[in-house]
Chains A and B, each alone.
Chain A
Amino acid sequence: MNIHFKPGIWAVMAGLSLTACYKDIDLEKYRPEPTLVLNSILSPDTVVRVQIARTVFFTDHRETDTNIADAEVKMYVNGRYTETLRYDETSRMYLSDYHPVSGELISIEAESSLGHVSGQGIIPEVVP
């Protein structure tokens, strides 16, 4: 249930749009250094696959390939370091041969020239 009157905004805006005006604005001064992005979906049914990418400034995002191939990606299982993942050119992902097990805490850390990023999660029980 949405507590707010979202349609109210559009109603008021629509009423005022007769006089409204759009114009391009240059926000280059806000262009930040890219941020490292880690994506991984862990499942006991497959090996660990990690995608490392970077953010891209909105005005560039059609042209830019955001994949990061030179990161160092480490995996920890239940807090213990297990391995550094290898980069696979074909899938453009970092791969391990490990199959996570339900109940395990999997942590992944990635390091590149853009900085450091990490994430972790507990593998859920199998839903019958």
Chain B
Amino acid sequence: MKIKKLLLSCLFAFAAEGALYAQHPDQTVFSINGTYNISEFLELIKEKVGCRIAYKESDLKNKREIHLNYTNEPLDVILKDASEKYGLQFVRYGNQLIVKKRKQSLPVKKTQSDSVIKDTVRNFYIQEVVKTAPRVDKLRHPQMGMTVMDGNAIRNVPTLLGEPDIIKALQLQPGVSAGTEGFAGMFVRGGENDENLFLIDGCPIYQTNHLGGLFSPFNADAVSHLTFYKSAFPARYGGRLSSVTDLSMKSGDYENWHGNLTVGLTSANVSFSGPLVKDRTTLFAALRRSWLELVSVPALAIINASKKKSGEKVIAGYNFTDFNLKLDHRLERFGTLSLLGYYGHDRLKMGEHRFSGDGEDTDYYLHKNENRLGWGNMLTSLKWHFPINTLFVYDMKASYTRYQSDFRKTVETVSGQEGENGYENNGSRTENRNAIHDLSADASLAFIPSDRIIIRLGTQYTRHRYAPEEEIRKSTSLPSENVKSESRVIANEWNAYLEGDLEVFRWLRFNAGLHGSFFRVEGKQYQVFEPRISADFRLNPMVSLKAGYARMSQFVQQVSDNYISLPTDYWLPITRNFSPLTSDQISAGIYVSPGKKYTFSVEGYYKKMNNLLEYKDDYKDLQVATWEDKLTSGSGRAYGADFQAEADFRKLHGFIGYGLMWSDRLFAELNGGKRFPSKYDNRHKVTLSATWKCSERVELNAGWVFMTGNRVTLSLENYSYPDGYPTDIVPSYPHKDEEMLDYYAGKNNVRLPAYHRLDVGINIYRPLRRGRTGIWNVSLYNAYSRMNPIMIEKNNQKQSMDGTPLAPRFRQFALFPIIPSVSYTYKF
């Protein structure tokens, strides 16, 4: 409340001045005194002027520190002098400062420089050739609820087992719930886990978890930067209701080969980048593989050796792999051709064998029970990026995405020896599969006449082939029970958008557009028109008011009937019986930056979601023919506010976030038709995150999260089985003496205890010979070992030491205590 009052006071104080920001930086004078390397100098300029800075990272290499001393000098004078001293060329264009390597001592001719400037500005916007400074000026951006993170920011979030994790980094944002610890994805502003659009260089992928959420499927070493939106989505994005995470993969280096090798406790990761043909063709590749088998296989071998005598063998194993590939080829004046590849897959197996043990006086027998799960994504795309001239940029892309999850259960019983009397071999195998195959083509055109206007338009066609529920059952003993059932759904989706980003005045900038989605399935066509608009009113250089509205649609949903969302939960498309999911979100906020080192923001939002799908309460007992009959449709809403305060000093960067949220659902066929809270109705969420660069070689980081607990559906009461009827009319219930029946008063009726956790980490940079670097990372996940419960069970079986039954009790189940980890990265 105090923060809110403070912000409102600031707002009114600034507004009372009555002058909107109109001062041009050229008229401003600055004083600088000190020794700076080029990065520090650019950061200083950015802070003082508030401009965007674009540069090629390679142009800034090997620049020495320079002593600068200016007193009340105009910016142009400072830049001209610094240009000479650093051996760089500074080009001003609108609110951009372009930094380039000086190729000649004489200034570039004006006619040439215009072209150079426009090319660079264009590239700045499409974020391909130049790298933008990581911190985005939130005051000058019309988008609300947007976060930009580069590889360093992701790596600075301490995480489980020392694995840099994009999802975990985003979970720190206010308004983003982490779901169930160890299993979760992201639940953004009251949405569900499947309502987040993840794009890898513009191509969507479906599954975002390794081992049920313990590790992110995105290799942080392969990510250049990401942009995350939770409201006011630009019109070029569509397909999910609640958030968009646009990941830009790293491109290869056009000049030199280099790479990373990271070895952690659970996985190893190697990436390399360099020119296949210098200045023409580059390659970037990253491979990550878990190596838990190195521990689990010998451990299981020892366990199984000890159990061999008793005729038992335990089957268990887990691994994940992901692979990123990017091949860029410059076509001179025809732009760049890029081939992108991504593959991520998890395999989990559990089971047991029982067999005639050594010394047993019985005939040979073997009983196998094995369960195998696999899930993952595969993606490949070919993209052509073509700057037509200084005003137009054309992009075209063809891609194929495959998501697949499968579960295989094998049961086999062998008795006797083959060829002898009495030999029997009975086995059955059940395989369930859920898959999506998307073939897609898209084209887009950007018109960038100046820094103040960007017009984008584009279209995309996708052919979806869904296999919501495939089942294969094979039995060696009863071939009549063999079943192969397929449920294929073919759908065609077409999207088109028009988006404009306009700075009408220096105090007003807005982004507006329309996204149209057309989805044809089972002979029925759905159209959803999605208007988007967001505006930034710059009251003065320190205060900005923003407001936005966005409608989003979604044509496929991952439905879960478990408290824990599993990666193998089925993705089910909408059909002629279920309409597309839609959401409407309005948001408004204030951004205040009293000094370049601090930013405060408050955003309020209201989101309505329609046509959400859930399993019916009693779907397992229903004698239904298709998967559609198991589902029911309803609506949801979420509203609240996100507060964030950021501080960025030279060596210390951090933020405090607070999210206040209400989220509920309304389904005619669930909870007796009454509104009920959603599972992740986390009322309060507080996040503290800080990174402190103690020295050139040591960096400390810490993150603390507090969150109101998730909700679970728990039967708190019981009632008796019917009794006392004549047994010739009513058969006796088999278990009536053991337990009473569960009574469920409502859905998501109990809230788990609050969740809180502190993670700390340290990065130690160790310069090696020939410019190589070694980085040690030591992390503590859950540093004070808070056992955060993920579920509650009813326990009626507990006994005292002497075997006396104890009173029935509720018990909470928690997964992770403190987990230390260490990893080493070798940069070459």
Chain A residues close to B by CB (< 8 Å):
1-5, 7-12, 14-16, 19-27, 30-32, 34-35, 37, 39-41, 43, 45-46, 49, 51, 53-62, 66, 91-93
Contacts and interface: CB of A to CB of B under 8 A. Distances in A.
Contacts of A20: 813-815
B616 to A, nearest CB: 12
B747 to A, nearest CB: 14
Given A8-B568, A31-B716, A58-B718, A21 B813 contact: yes
B interface residue count range (under 10 / 10 to 19 / 20 to 34 / 35 or more): 35 or more
B787 A37 contact: no
Nearest to B563: A9
Contacts of B569: 4
A27 B811 CA distance: 10
Interface string B701-718: 000000000000011111
Contacts of B775: none
A40 B570 CA distance: 39
Interface stretch (B395-403, B642-650, B721-729): B721-729
Nearest to B794: A58
Given A9-B566, A11-B371, A32-B745, A25 B722 contact: no
A127 to B, nearest CB: 14
Contacts of B469: 3
Given A5-B373, A11-B348, A35 B743 contact: yes
A19 B350 contact: no
Given A4-B570, A11-B348, A22 B716 contact: no
B87 interface: no
A55 B718 contact: yes
A94 to B, nearest CB: 11
A58 B808 contact: yes
B813 A51 contact: no
Contacts of A61: 718, 740, 808
A59 B810 contact: yes
Interface of B: 182-183, 211-212, 316, 318, 348-350, 371, 373, 407, 409, 432, 469, 471, 560-562, 564, 566, 568-570, 620, 627, 630, 714-720, 722-726, 729-730, 740, 743, 745, 749-750, 753, 787, 789, 792, 794, 805, 807-817, 819
B373 A41 contact: no
Nearest to B468: A3
A62 B805 CA distance: 11
Given A7-B409, A23-B814, A35-B745, 7 more contacts: A4-B570, A25-B789, A25-B810, A30-B716, A39-B722, A51-B724, A92-B724
Contacts of B789: 23, 25
Nearest to B751: A30
A56 to B, nearest CB: 6
B649 to A, nearest CB: 38
Given A4-B570, A19-B817, A49-B724, A32 B407 contact: no
Contacts of A37: 719-720, 743
A66 B720 contact: yes
A23 B717 contact: no
B811 A34 contact: no
A34 B716 CA distance: 11
Contacts of A40: 722
Given A8-B407, A25-B812, A27-B750, A53 B716 contact: no
B745 A15 contact: no
A49 B723 CA distance: 10
A16 B814 CA distance: 10
Nearest to B430: A1
Most buried by A among B350, B560, B561: B350
Q: Closest 10 A-B residue pairs measured CB to CB?
A: A55-B717, A11-B350, A39-B722, A25-B812, A5-B407, A37-B719, A5-B568, A7-B371, A55-B719, A61-B718
Contacts of A35: 717, 719, 743, 745
A56 B740 contact: yes
A41 B794 contact: no
Given A45-B729, A59-B809, A61-B740, A8 B373 contact: yes
26 contacts: A3-B432, A4-B561, A5-B432, A7-B409, A8-B373, A8-B566, A9-B564, A11-B349, A23-B787, A23-B812, A24-B809, A24-B810, A24-B811, A27-B750, A41-B725, A46-B729, A51-B722, A51-B724, A53-B719, A55-B719, A58-B808, A59-B808, A59-B810, A66-B719, A92-B724, A93-B724
Contacts of B816: 19
A49 to B, nearest CB: 6
